[in-house]
Amino acid sequence: VGGPPPRRAAYAPHCSIFSRRSARSHRPAAMAHAKMVELLGALGSGNNAERQQAETMYQTAKASEPDTLLLSFAAVLADESVDVAIRQQAATLLRQCVTKGADKDFVFSRMNSGNKQQLAQELVSRFEKMTNPKLQHKVGDIISKLAEAVTDSDDQRGWFAPGQRGWPGLLPTMFKLANAAENGNAACLESSIRVLKDLVSVFEQDMVAAQAQLGAVIQNALSHSDPKIKCAAFVLVCELVGTLEKKAWAPLISTASVLTSVLQQFAQAGLQDELQECLQNYVEIASSEPDFFKQQIQSSMEPAKLLAMLVKTRQGLEEGVRNMALEWMVTYSEKKPKWLAKSVPSFAALVIECCMDLMLEVEDGDDKLKEWAERMDDEEGEEDADELYHFGEEAIDRVVEALGMDVASSSLFTLVGRFSSQDAWQAKLAALTAIKQTVEYAEETEHVNEMAKLLLAHMDHQHPRVRYSALHAIGQLATDQAPQFQETWHSTVMPTLLRKMDDPVDRVASMAMSAFVSFGEELENALMQQYAPNFMQKLVGRLQSSKHRMVLEESITSIAVIAGVIEKDFSQYYDGIMPMLKTLVMNTTGEKENRLRGKAFECMSLLGLAVGKEKFLPDAKEALAAMLQTPTDANDLQREYITEASQRICKCLKADFAPFLPHLLPNLFKSLKLEAEDTTAPKPGDEDDDEQYITVSTGEGKLVKVRSSKFDELLQAVQLLNTYCIEMEEAFFDYVGEVAQNLLPLLDASDEVSMLCDEARSAAFQCWASLIKCARSAATKLNQPPSIANELLRTFLQKICTAMAKDEDPETLKDAADGLAECLRNSGTGVLGGQEVLQLVHQLFQFIDASMQRTIKAEKERQKDKAGAPPELQHDDDDDDHAVEDEDACRRSLEDAIGAVMKIAPQDFLQCLNECQERIGRWLGMKEHRALALFLVADMLEHLKELSVPTWPVVMPGVFACVEDKDADVRIPAAYSMALAAPIPKFAEAAPDAFRKLATLVSGPAPKKRDDQGKVAMDNCVAALFHLARYQSAQCPADIPAWQLVVNKLPLKDDEDEAKKLHKAVCELLLEQHAGLLGPDNAHLGKILSALAEVHKQENLCEKETDAVIEKIFQMLPRDNLLRLASGFSEKQQRKIEKMLC
C-alpha cells in the first residue's frame, strides 16, 4: 500500500505473436488478443528499440500469419475495453492491409476464402454496432477500401474466392443504414452515408439500378435536422454527379435548390467546417460537371447569388469559406464562359464585383504599413498577409481571361471607375490591381489609354501601397501591350519612372525600377538612346548609395536592360559598371543575398552580349571563375541565375567558350544522374518534407526517393548542354561523344525515374539533334565522312522508334516525333537508304493511325456519357476535349517527321507517294483531319517540288476548297500550300483561281486581336498572294490588284516564320526594283519602307542578314526622297532610320 505502481513489462518478441488456439479453452485466444493489443501499443511506442522490435514482429506476421493478423485487428476494433488509441492504430493498419498494392502489403489477398468473408462480415457488423464516431468513420474507410479490392475486375487477388468477384450484401446493408427512416442513430447514419459516397465509384452500375433506395437516402438525409447528416448527403450528391454518366445523374438536378438551401442554413448557423466541406465539393462539380448547375443558374441565378453574398460577408465567416465561395464562381466562369455570356449575361458583373470586394480586404494601420514596406518581395509572409486580397487579385485575372474582354469590359471598367473614385486607399488599390491583372486582355486602344491615364494619376498618391500598385500595373501594361504602349506613352512614362526611382519608400522605388525593366525591354533602340544618360546616372547613383536589397537588385536589372537595348552603344558605360558588379559578387555572400549575387552575374552576361566578345572576354573569364566557385545546393536561387548567365556568355564567346567546358561539364553530367536517396534512411528533418520528394522504382526494382527539385536541375543541365553545342558549333565536336553517352539514359526511358523526366527527355531529344548537326558540320569542315553523325542518328532511331511503338501517351509521342524530325533534318542527305525510308515512313503512318483510333475510342466514350441525358445536358459551345487536342498535336508532329524524311531523301521518298496520296484523299474527306492532310501536302510541295505534281489531281482540289474554310487551323496549311506551289510552273493552270480566292481573303475583315490563329491564317494568305504575284504574275486577273493588297498588309507580325521569309523576299525584289512591288510611279515605296523600318532589328520578324540588307536599302536611297517619304512614319521608325544612316 502506498508503493509505486507496478512497471509495465518491456515488450518481448517471440517467434509468433499469436498462440495456438485450443479447442477446449479460450485462454490461448485471450492471450493472443492480449499480445495483439501489446503489439499495437509497442508499434506506437516512443522507445525506438521497442518500436523496432514490434515492427519486425508485425512484418513477420504479415508474411506468415495473414488470416490471424487481420482477424485479430478486427477483434481489437470490437473490444471497447481497449484504449481508443490502440483501436485506432488497429483500424489504420487493417486499412493498409486490405488496400490493393504490392503482395507483401496487400495482406488480405493471402487470407483463405472463408476468413476473407468472415472478416468482411465482421467489419460490417462492427461498423453497425460501433459507438465511437471516429472509430466508426475509420471502419467505414476500411469497408470502402475492401470493397475496391473484392470488386476489381483486373485484379483477382482480393476476391472472396476464385471466380467470386464482388460483395453482394454490402450495398443493401449500407442503403438500410444510410436511410434516416430506418436508422435512428445519427452518428451511424452519417458514417453510413459517407461510406455510400466512397462506394459510388465501386458500385457505379448498382447505384444506378438502385435509384429508389438511393433517392430515399438522399431525400431523408437532406431533410434531416442534424447538420452533419445534411453535410454527408450533400457530399454524396456531389460524388454521384462527379462519378456517374450524365443520364444517370440527371435526376439529381432536382436537388440543386435543396443543396443551395443547405449551404444557406450552414452559413446562418455559423457551421464553418460543414460549409467549407460542401463548398469544396461544389467547386469540384463546377469543374467536372458544370452542366449540373445550368438549369438553376438560368432560372434563379443560384447558387451564384448565395455564394456572392458569402464572399461579401465580412463578419462571422472564415477566410477559407469566402475564398471557396469565390472559387466556385471563378471555376464556373472558366468552364462555361460562352454559355454564361449568351444565357446569363449578369453573371459577369456579379463575379467581377466579388473579386473587387475581396481586394478591399487589406490590413490598415501604421504597423502593418511598416511591415509591408520593410518586407522584401522574396521573403516569406508576402502571400500570407492579405490573403483575401491576393485571392481576389488572382480571381479577377482568371475571370476576365475566361469570359473575354468583350463580355467583361463593361462591368470591369464601371467597377474600376467606382472604386478609384472613392477616398479610401484600399478602394483605389483594388481598382489599380484590377487593371494590372486584366490589362493583358484589353484589345481596344481606347481602353489601354484610359487604363494608363488612371495609373499615372495615382503615381503620387499619399499611400505607398497605392503608388506601388500603380507602378506595378504600369510594368504589367508595358509587358502585355508592347510595343504599342511604349511607342505611344514613352514621353510621359519614362520621366515618371525616373522620378519615382527616388520615392521615399524603398520598396516603391524598387517597383519603379521593375516597371522600367518591363517598359524598357520593349523600347526601341533609338528611343532608349535619348533616355539612357539620365537613367544610367540615376541607377548608378542608387547602386552606390542604397543599402536596400530590392533597390540594388532592380538597379542592376535596369542597367542590364539598357545594355540589352542599346547594345554596342553601351560601351561608354561598360568600364564604369563592370567593376561595380565584380565588387558586388565578391561582397554579397549572405544567405539573403543569393538573388542579388545572381542578378549581378545576370547583368555581367547581358553586358557581355551587348558590347561583344572582344571587350567582354577578359571579364567573362573572371565572371565564370566566380560562378564556378559559388557553392549552390539543389534549391539555391543562384543556380538558375548562373545557368542562364553561362548560356549568355557562351552565346557571346562562341568557340572561345571552349576552355571553360572542362570545368563545367563534370557538374552537368552529375546533374544528369538522378542520385536517389534510399527511402529507408531519410535525412534528419526530411520526415515532414515528403512533398519535396518523389518515390520511384528504378530499372533494377529498387525503391528510391528523389528530391523533386532534382528534375528541374536535370532539365536545366540538358538545356545548357544544348546551348553550348549550338553556340560553339564545330568547337564543341570533341565533347559530342561524351555528352551523347551521358544523355543516353534519357533516351532509353526504361524505368520510372526517367519516365518522370518528360520535359528533360524532350530537351534531350533536341540536344541529340544538335549533337548530330555539330558532328556533321565538323566532319564537313574536316573533309571526313559523317560517321559519328550517322551513328548518332541510328542510335536515336533504334531507341526512340522502339519506345514509340510501346507508347500511347500523345504528349510523349509528340515529344519523340519532334526530336526525330529534328534529328533527321540535321543529318542531311544520303544517311537513309531506300528500304529504311520506306520502313520509317510506314511506321510513322502506323503511329498516326493508332492516334486516330485513340481519338475515335475517346469520342465513343464521350458520346456514351451523353447518351440519354436531357437536352440541357447535351453538348454546348463550352464543351472541350483536351485529349483530342493532344492527339491532334501528336499527329501533326508525326507528320512533320514524315516531312523531315522527304527533305533528306526526296528521291527515295517517291516510293511512298501513292500511300501519301491515298491518305490525303481520305483525310480531306474528314473534317477533323483536313489540316493534317494539308500539312502533308505542304511538305510534299516544299521538299518534292515538281516531283509531287502527279498527286495534284487528288490534293489540289482540297487545297482550294480548304483555303476558304471557316476553321483558321485549316486555312493556314491551305494558304501555305498555295505559297509553296506558286513557283512550280505547272501551277499556272490553277493560278487565276488562286489569285481570286486569296485576294478575297486578304481584302476581307481583319481577324480580332485575340484570334491568334485567324491572324496567322491571314499572314499565310498574304504570303501566298505575294508568291503568286512574284512567280505567276502573267496569270493574275486584271481586276485583282495583287501587289497593292500585299503591300497594304505589310509587315507580317503573327506568323513569325513566314514574316522572316516574306520580309527577306521583299528586300530582294526591292533591290531588283521590281515594278510590280513598287507600283505605278513607285506608289508603294513609302509603305514598303515603313514596314522595313518597323521590322528592322526585330529578331522574331527579321533575320540578321535581312537587317543588313534593309540598312543597305535605306543608305542607297536619295536622302531628300527618303526624308519626304519618312515624314509620315512613326517616331520609332524615323529614329530607326536616323540610326541606320549614321
More confident position, 8 or 223 = 223
Closest CA relative to residue 716, chosen from 622, 637, 651: 637
d(CA 204, CA 191) in angstroms, rounded, equals 19
Closest CA relative to residue 1088, chosen from 1119, 1122, 1056: 1122
Instruction: Describe the crossing of helices 637-653 and 709-728 by its angle, rounded to 10 degrees.
Output: 10
pLDDT at residue 966, as a whole number: 95
Number of Cα atoms under 13 Å in the Cβ half of residue 530 = 14
Q: Taking 60 as the threshold, does the pLDDT of residue 552 lie above it?
A: yes
Q: Taking 90 as the threshold, does the pLDDT of residue 680 lie above it?
A: no
C-alpha distances out from residue 46 to 60, 199, 827, Å: 21, 37, 64
* Mean pLDDT, residues 471-498: 96
* Of the listed ranges 42-51, 672-681, 824-833, the one predicted with least confidence: 672-681
Q: Taking 90 as the threshold, does the pLDDT of residue 1096 lie above it?
A: yes
Per residue in 284-306, pLDDT (tens digit) is 999 999 999 999 999 999 999 99
Q: Taking 80 as the threshold, does the pLDDT of residue 1093 lie above it?
A: yes
Question: What strand order describes the sheet that includes 677-678?
Answer: 677-678, 703-707, 693-697
Beta bridge partners of 696: 704
pLDDT at residue 383, as a whole number: 58
- pTM, two decimals, is 0.85
Per residue in 402-417, pLDDT (tens digit) is 999 999 999 999 999 9
pLDDT at residue 882, as a whole number: 66
Taking residue 857's Cβ as centre, other Cβ atoms within 10 Å add up to 11
pLDDT at residue 634, as a whole number: 40
pLDDT at residue 860, as a whole number: 86
More confident position, 629 or 570 = 570
pLDDT at residue 640, as a whole number: 84
Taking residue 72's Cβ as centre, other Cβ atoms within 10 Å add up to 24
* Of the listed ranges 514-518, 543-547, 1015-1019, the one predicted with least confidence: 543-547
C-alpha distances out from residue 351 to 280, 308, 332, Å: 18, 7, 10
Phi, psi (rounded to 5 degrees) for 829: -80, 160
Q: Taking 70 as the threshold, does the pLDDT of residue 98 lie above it?
A: yes
pLDDT-derived band at 12, boundaries 50, 70, 90: very low
The residue with cell 483501436 is 87
pLDDT-derived band at 102, boundaries 50, 70, 90: confident
CA-CA-CA-CA torsion sign (76, 77, 79, 83): positive
pLDDT at residue 6, as a whole number: 40
Asked if 984 and 976 count as a contact pair (C-beta separation under 8 A), the reply is no
pLDDT at residue 7, as a whole number: 41
* Mean pLDDT, residues 545-566: 95
Report the amino acid identity of residue 1003: S
Per residue in 875-929, pLDDT (tens digit) is 666 766 567 889 999 999 999 999 999 999 999 999 999 999 999 999 999 999 9
* Of the listed ranges 446-460, 638-652, 890-904, the one predicted with least confidence: 638-652
Q: Taking 80 as the threshold, does the pLDDT of residue 675 lie above it?
A: no
- Mapped onto helix, strand or coil, the DSSP state of residue 1129 is coil
* Mean pLDDT, residues 154-164: 91
* Mean pLDDT, residues 219-238: 97
Beta bridge partners of 693: 707
Q: Taking 50 as the threshold, does the pLDDT of residue 3 lie above it?
A: no
pLDDT at residue 686, as a whole number: 37
Residue 757: burial class (beta carbons within 10 Å; 0-12, 13-18, 19+): buried
d(CA 623, CA 601) in angstroms, rounded, equals 7
Per residue in 1066-1079, pLDDT (tens digit) is 999 999 999 999 99
d(CA 679, CA 677) in angstroms, rounded, equals 6
Judged by phi (left if over 0) then psi (alpha if -120 to 50, else beta), residue 702 lies in beta
Q: Taking 70 as the threshold, does the pLDDT of residue 25 lie above it?
A: no
- Mapped onto helix, strand or coil, the DSSP state of residue 750 is coil
* Mean pLDDT, residues 549-553: 95
- Mapped onto helix, strand or coil, the DSSP state of residue 239 is helix
C-alpha distances out from residue 1112 to 424, 654, 819, 1070, 1071, Å: 58, 27, 38, 11, 9
pLDDT at residue 872, as a whole number: 67
pLDDT at residue 593, as a whole number: 85
Average pLDDT along the chain: 90
Per residue in 925-953, pLDDT (tens digit) is 999 999 999 999 999 999 999 999 999 99
pLDDT-derived band at 381, boundaries 50, 70, 90: low
* Mean pLDDT, residues 189-195: 96
Per residue in 313-344, pLDDT (tens digit) is 988 899 999 999 999 999 999 999 999 999 99
* Mean pLDDT, residues 864-872: 70
Closest CA relative to residue 698, chosen from 641, 640, 749: 749
pLDDT at residue 647, as a whole number: 93
* Mean pLDDT, residues 781-803: 94
CA-CA-CA-CA torsion sign (160, 162, 166, 170): negative
Per residue in 123-144, pLDDT (tens digit) is 999 999 998 999 999 999 999 9
Closest CA relative to residue 955, chosen from 999, 987, 998, 988: 987
pLDDT-derived band at 672, boundaries 50, 70, 90: confident
The residue with cell 488562286 is 994
Per residue in 241-271, pLDDT (tens digit) is 999 999 899 999 999 999 999 999 999 999 9
Q: Taking 50 as the threshold, does the pLDDT of residue 20 lie above it?
A: no
> Which three cell numbers mark 169?
450484401
